[in-house]
Amino acid sequence: MWIVFSLLAALSAAIVVTLSKAGVKNMDSSLAFAVQSVLILIVSWSVVAFQGNLGDVARIDRRTWIYLLVAGVITCLSSLFTFRALKLGDASRVSPLERISLVFAIVFAVIFLKERVNWQVIAGAVLMAVGALLIAIAAPSPK
């Protein structure tokens, strides 16, 4: 099932990029992200409540809180950077370059989580990075 959810996340991310690019066209990128963040907050806590997991908040240990809070701050920074990039550039070029995060995630997983990777993962990451860079540096299409 992880493959299905991963593909759904990828499809959702593509839709988000498209809608976000349209949304930042006539407004400040930080304001656009702030509006979207409020909706993310409402929907995510609604899901937690619907699943009956609100009581689990009290059982989160200190170390997990630290990881989640730092990840939350970095998520905000990442989104602010993405929205600014979308304001300044074409979504078809911003999104692939932003997805080089995959390569960073593999490197961080190996270093910090001690995950093992094989040559196929390394080759795939290199190909994805090269492809993203080729798209990003391609001449913009005429408007």
Q: What is the pTM of this model?
A: 0.84
CA distance 45 to 64: 18
- Chain segment 93-122, per-residue pLDDT in tens: 899 899 899 999 999 999 999 999 999 999
DSSP label at 113? S
DSSP-H helix ranges across 58-141: 62-88, 91-98, 101-112, 119-137
Last residue of a domain, which of 43, 66, 89?
89
Residues 14, 81 share a domain? yes
Residues 111, 43 share a domain? no
Mean pLDDT of the chain, nearest integer: 93
What is the extent of the structural domain holding 32? Answer: 2-89
CA distance 131 to 126: 8
Give the pLDDT confidence score for residue 137 in this predicted structure.
84
Residue with the larger pLDDT of the pair 113 and 141? 113
Report whether 106 contacts 117 (CB < 8 A): yes
Residues 78, 14 share a domain? yes
Give a yes or no: residue 94 inside a domain. no
Residues 67, 137 share a domain? no
Give a yes or no: residue 20 inside a domain. yes
Residues 143, 76 share a domain? no
